[in-house]
């Protein structure tokens, strides 16, 4: 569907075949990104970022830095302890809550993804004055805003009157101030030695990639990575739990799989995830029905092209409607609107690079269904969705979690297995023996006093 937003032609792609033509067949033509005012002011950094830089040698160089040094499988594995520790903290928070009290699961998983993302990218949680949930919420709202000046430059004054320009400028300044503080902390020697900022500073210092990378480029790349993970993992986990509570039969199947594979273990570890096929199917089906970004970041044609007998002029913005494609009956069948994870059991993972985001989702979701039984306090027949660049629940997901009997039995099993059975049986025996001895001493004293009183009474009677 070809539209015109002001003076800019916009092509909306809502079928899988047309999307393949743009992203694969004519990928070089649509390799660039449009120069949106919002994206340019917050993310662009004078064209030195990765997401919005013009297609060319600079873009290829910066992309290679991200793929080889920041998003490689080696880097994914290196942050295993970070994911494990943060998930353990969340599980403890859930366990401490009463089985009858409601838990704001949305807030918990949002905090989990924020903490992991900050530790991976910046080496620290950076609490205090920085409210990441508020900052990312502002950014997401801006990404879903419509800038009149982008499509009709002579009406750019509307963005100023509406307050959009001021909001964009304030958000950009807040991000710049924060990133400058993070990079300066690492330059001064603080922070984790294995986070993204440290890696980029080492590349800058050692000049090991064949081209120079300056401070602005470091800020731009870190900003891209931070924004790229904004609320994506959180949204998938939130919707996955929503769908599982909507479909208890799917939740039961998933719990049987996870608890069967992790039998005798109180936690799920990453090496066990690869055997959980139904878990992966649940996550894929969740991302199909609830894509974190329903309208993908626009592409722009760099020259004229003919697409399926249609003439597409230079400068056309192409928007891929992922939400419509993922619900297309021609691809997914007549039950495309239904949540049915079984449809993915025979499908292979398409993009290995997605593992950096998916591994946290898989591990967190597996631990949630393994360690707790869940029931909802809300009606999930119709869940309102928030408006923005990503699709989230309009209202938080409140649930009631209860520790499973299975987990209690496993805890006793591990307790005995570690050799503490000696104390488990020895201490009660000592306690009982002490009470028996105390009882015998009391009886002895009692009978002794009675005997003494009886003798005294007889003697008194005889003398009288």
The answer to whether residue 304 is domain-embedded is no
Q: What are the Cα distances from residue 245, in Å, to 77, 127, 248, 429? A: 31, 33, 6, 47
Cβ pair 335, 210 in contact under 8 A: no
The answer to whether residue 331 is domain-embedded is no
Q: In 3D, which of 52, 116, 109, 122 has the Cα closest to residue 84?
A: 116
Which domain range does residue 442 map to? 420-464
Phi, psi at 127, each rounded to 5°: -80, -145
Q: In 3D, which of 32, 86, 34 has the Cα closest to residue 60?
A: 32
**Predicted pLDDT of residue 199:** 81
The answer to whether residue 430 is domain-embedded is yes
Distance CA 231, CA 398 (A): 18
The total of structural domains in the chain comes to 1
**Predicted pLDDT of residue 407:** 47
The answer to whether residue 83 is domain-embedded is no
Count of CB atoms situated within 10 Å of the CB of 292: 21
The answer to whether residue 281 is domain-embedded is no
The answer to whether residue 426 is domain-embedded is yes
Distance CA 302, CA 219 (A): 27
Give every CB contact of residue 228 below 8 A, 6+ residues apart in sequence: 51
Q: What are the Cα distances from residue 367, in Å, to 99, 271, 287? A: 17, 13, 19
The answer to whether residue 461 is domain-embedded is yes
DSSP 23-73: IIITTTTT-B----HHHIIIIITTTTSSSSSPSSHHHHHHHHHIIIIISSH
The answer to whether residue 458 is domain-embedded is yes
Q: In 3D, which of 439, 299, 315, 372 has the Cα closest to residue 13?
A: 299
Cβ pair 253, 282 in contact under 8 A: no
Q: pTM of whole model > 0.75?
A: yes
pLDDT tens string, the chain, 464 residues long: the values are: 788 888 889 999 999 999 999 999 998 899 888 877 777 776 656 666 676 666 777 777 777 777 777 677 777 788 888 899 999 999 999 988 866 688 999 999 988 988 888 888 777 776 555 566 677 778 777 877 888 888 888 988 998 999 888 888 888 888 888 888 888 888 776 555 677 888 888 887 777 666 677 777 777 777 777 666 656 788 899 999 999 999 999 999 999 999 999 988 889 998 899 899 999 999 999 999 999 888 888 899 999 999 888 899 999 999 999 999 999 998 899 999 999 999 998 765 444 345 667 888 999 999 999 999 998 887 766 788 877 777 888 889 999 998 865 444 444 444 444 454 455 555 677 668 776 787 777 776 666 666 666 544 444 444 44
Phi, psi at 300, each rounded to 5°: -135, 135
Give every CB contact of residue 55 below 8 A, 6+ residues apart in sequence: 28, 31, 32, 302
Per the DSSP assignment, residues forming a β-bridge with 3 are 10
Q: Exposed, middle or buried: residue 428 (CB in 10 Å: 0-12, 13-18, 19+)?
A: exposed
**Predicted pLDDT of residue 22:** 92
Per the DSSP assignment, residues forming a β-bridge with 400 are 375
Q: Exposed, middle or buried: residue 53 (CB in 10 Å: 0-12, 13-18, 19+)?
A: buried
DSSP 345-384: TTPPPS-GGGHHHHHHHHHHHHHHHHHEEEEESS--SS--
Distance CA 31, CA 26 (A): 9
């Amino acid at each position: 569907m070809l539209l015109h937003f002001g003076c800019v032609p916009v092509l909306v792609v809502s079928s899988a075949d047309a999307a393949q033509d743009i992203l694969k067949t004519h990928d070089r033509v649509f390799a660039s990104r449009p120069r949106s005012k919002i994206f340019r002011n917050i993310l662009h950094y004078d064209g030195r970022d990765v997401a919005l830089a013009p297609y060319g040698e600079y873009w290829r160089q910066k992309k290679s830095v991200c793929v080889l040094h920041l998003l490689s499988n080696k880097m994914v594995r290196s942050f295993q302890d970070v994911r494990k520790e943060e998930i353990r903290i969340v599980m403890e928070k859930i366990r401490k809550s009463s089985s009858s009290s409601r838990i704001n699961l949305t807030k918990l998983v949002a905090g989990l993804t924020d903490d992991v993302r900050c530790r991976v990218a910046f080496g620290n949680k950076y609490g205090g004055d920085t409210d990441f949930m508020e900052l990312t919420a502002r950014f997401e709202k801006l990404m879903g805003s419509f800038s009149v000046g982008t499509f009709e430059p002579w009406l750019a004054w509307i963005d100023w009157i509406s307050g959009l320009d001021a909001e964009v400028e304030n958000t950009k300044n807040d991000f710049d101030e924060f990133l400058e503080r993070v990079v300066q902390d690492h330059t001064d020697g603080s922070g984790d030695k294995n986070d993204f900022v440290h890696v980029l500073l080492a590349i800058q210092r050692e000049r090991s990639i064949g081209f120079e990378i300056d401070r602005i480029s470091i800020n731009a790349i870190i900003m891209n990575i931070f924004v790229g993970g904004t609320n994506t993992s959180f949204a998938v986990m939130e919707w996955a739990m929503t769908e599982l509570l909507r479909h208890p039969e799917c939740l039961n199947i998933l719990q049987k799989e996870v608890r069967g594979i992790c039998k005798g273990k109180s936690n799920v570890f990453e090496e066990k995830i690869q055997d959980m096929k139904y878990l992966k199917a649940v996550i894929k089906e969740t991302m199909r029905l609830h894509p974190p970004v329903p309208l993908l970041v626009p592409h722009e044609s760099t020259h004229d092209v003919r697409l399926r007998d249609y003439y597409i002029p230079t400068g056309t913005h192409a928007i891929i409607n992922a939400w419509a494609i993922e619900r297309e009956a021609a691809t997914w069948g007549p039950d495309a609107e239904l949540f049915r994870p079984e449809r993915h059991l025979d499908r292979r993972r398409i993009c290995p690079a997605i593992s950096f985001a998916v591994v946290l989702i898989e591990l967190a979701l597996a631990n949630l269904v393994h360690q707790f039984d869940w029931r909802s306090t809300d009606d999930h027949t119709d869940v309102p969705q928030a408006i923005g660049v990503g699709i989230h629940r309009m209202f938080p997901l409140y649930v009631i979690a209860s520790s499973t009997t299975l987990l209690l039995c496993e805890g006793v099993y591990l307790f005995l297995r570690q050799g503490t059975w000696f104390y488990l049986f020895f201490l009660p025996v000592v306690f009982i023996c002490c009470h028996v001895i105390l009882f015998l001493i009391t009886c002895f004293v009692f009978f002794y006093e009675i005997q003494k009183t009886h003798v005294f009474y007889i003697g008194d009677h005889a003398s009288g």
